[in-house]
A and B are shown apart, each in its own frame.
Chain A
Amino acid sequence: MALSNVFETPAAGFNFDNTSRNAALEGLFDGGQTPKPMKTGTTIAGVVFKDGVVLGADTRATSSEVVADKMCAKIHYIAPNIYCCGAGTAADTEKTTDILSSNLTIFSLNSGRNPRVIMAVSILQDMLYRYRGQIGANLILGGVDCTGNHLYTVGPYGSVNKVPYLSMGSGDLAALGILEDGFKHDMELEEAKELVRLAIHAGIMSDLGSGNNIDICVITRQGVDYIRPYQVSEYKDNRKTKYKYRPGTTPVLTEKVVRLKLEVVQESMQRMDTA
């Protein structure tokens, strides 16, 4: 199993093989309800500032109307200098970022260089385009490399947008309002962190699918500062973690004892070798 095979370039042209597979999968359900994948219902945002990139995300993962995970990590590691926020189908974003991360690690080891953000974007775009939107991953990629600080977004169909600030997820419109109002070029670190925090906070307040805590990831030439959580939700629940009740909590009204008649049918002994 040669690892260097992972990085082979696919055959030229468009590959529509998976459309027949998908059609066959739909056919398995006989026209009934196909299972819907779990969406993270999220607010994620990113901002380019003077010395690097700040990425932010909420931490709620929902499964329909129930919060499945209150402290879900939506900012994924891609490379030492590149991180990625994911919105859309949870499994797709996790797997896609894992594959991307391992491909870039192999590339780094092969060439001895730190990967560039544009490289991550190109690999992602190529892969998502080949799957024609069947992979529901809306990703924000941010990173710092030798060519500067970059922020890109890749859509599930493979479209790429390069912008200095953006937000994605179900809470994106609320967050974008804050970003549009507060963004300036070449901000300082604290300004940028505060702006992203406000943007995610707006998403959490205005969107049911986003909530709980805020994670922030700051990427600069010097390194990465992954602050998890950056802001904790002000709504704390007060749960007792012990559920042991003392005897007598439930009153006993009557007691009836029935003896079970058991006969010994067979007895056997097996020596255990304890040497």
Chain B
Amino acid sequence: MLEETGPEWLSEEVKTGTTIIAIEFNGGVVLGSDSRVSAGSSVVNRVMNKLSPLHDKIYCALSGSAADAQTIAEMVNYQLDVHSLEIDEDPQVRSAATLVRNISYKYKEELSAHLIVAGWDRKDKGQVFATLNGLLTRQPFAVGGSGSSYVYGFVDAEYRKGMNKEECQQFVVNTLSLAMNRDGSSGGVAYIVSIDEHGTEEKVILGNDLPTFFDQ
């Protein structure tokens, strides 16, 4: 017999329930995310790319409510385009992060999304900013999403200053793999974006190519 309200996921808000990470290295940044989008206990999209471009060399990682995060990213993309036309050069990562922070802070009560902004600009090279709940802070690396709780220990222990691009990419892949193994709301494939002064490189690592740890 069909229930009056129908299946719960039809009315449940779609959350990204995620693992996202961004880390700065000498000369750029590396961003990583999983690809699972859930509505209640149902996976709505298993291949979603949560690394969204705000500008050529500035990306943001989405987590929390899918609709809110996508909308904030689109709005900031537009505002950043206008801003870069006005100043007639590529925008700073700090500007992008500030725009995201302004929306997150002003609509704090209504929104439930957390974006990590990371990119490269000529002035300060690679930068990572966290904008949780409307704060703005620059960090050497940032993790976010429901899966991040499981890997705080790992990132705190394994992070070293002065890693190069390949080491950073490996670090990000390892972190994502560990989180996806433990967090029910993270999974699928891993998307990696590396930004440095030469350009932006997007990579996908399929499920069976992810590193395995003590998996018994």
Residues of A at under 8 Å CB distance from B?
A: 14, 16, 36, 39, 41, 62, 64-65, 87-88, 125, 128-129, 133, 136, 138, 153, 155-161, 163, 166, 170, 173, 208-209
Contacts and interface: CB of A to CB of B under 8 A. Distances in A.
A155 B37 CA distance: 12
Contacts of A14: 107, 110
B6 interface: yes
B192 interface: no
A136 B11 contact: yes
Contacts of A163: 45, 47
B65 interface: yes
Given A159-B66, A163-B47, A36 B71 contact: no
Interface string B57-90: 0000000011100110000000000000000000
- Specify which of B1, B7, B65, B110 lies most central, judged by the most chain A CB atoms within 10 Å of its CB: B7
Interface string B1-22: 1101111001101100000000
B67 A138 contact: no
A136 B7 CA distance: 13
A173 B2 contact: no
Contacts of A125: 70-71
Nearest to A14: B107
Interface string B35-50: 0010100101101100
Contact of B14 (A16, A41, A64, A155): A155
A65 B67 contact: no
Contact of A157 (B4, B5, B14): B14
A38 B45 CA distance: 26
A156 to B, nearest CB: 7
B106 to A, nearest CB: 9
Given A64-B4, A208-B1, A208-B2, A157 B67 contact: yes
- Specify which of B7, B11, B67 lies most central, judged by the most chain A CB atoms within 10 Å of its CB: B67
Contacts, number: 66
A217 B65 CA distance: 32
8 contacts: A39-B6, A64-B4, A125-B71, A158-B67, A160-B70, A170-B6, A173-B42, A209-B6
B44 A155 contact: yes
Contact of A161 (B13, B42, B48, B71): B48
Contacts of B44: 153, 155, 161
Interface residues of B, number: 24
A122 to B, nearest CB: 9
Contacts of A161: 37, 44-45, 48
Contacts of B48: 161
Contacts of B5: 36, 39
Contacts of A155: 14, 39, 44, 66-67
Contacts of B42: 173
Contacts of A158: 67, 70-71
A62 B42 CA distance: 23
B74 to A, nearest CB: 9
Nearest to A87: B10
A46 to B, nearest CB: 14
A160 B10 CA distance: 15
Contacts of B45: 161, 163, 166
Nearest to A132: B110
A39 B1 contact: no
A16 B65 contact: no
Nearest to A164: B47
A161 B48 CA distance: 7
A138 B13 CA distance: 12
Contacts of A62: 2
B71 to A, nearest CB: 6
A128 B68 CA distance: 11
Given A14-B107, A157-B65, A65 B1 contact: yes
A180 to B, nearest CB: 9
A157 B66 contact: yes
- Specify which of B6, B45, B48 lies most central, judged by the most chain A CB atoms within 10 Å of its CB: B6
A157 B110 CA distance: 13
A70 B89 CA distance: 60
Contacts of B71: 125, 129, 158
A159 B2 contact: no
A78 to B, nearest CB: 21
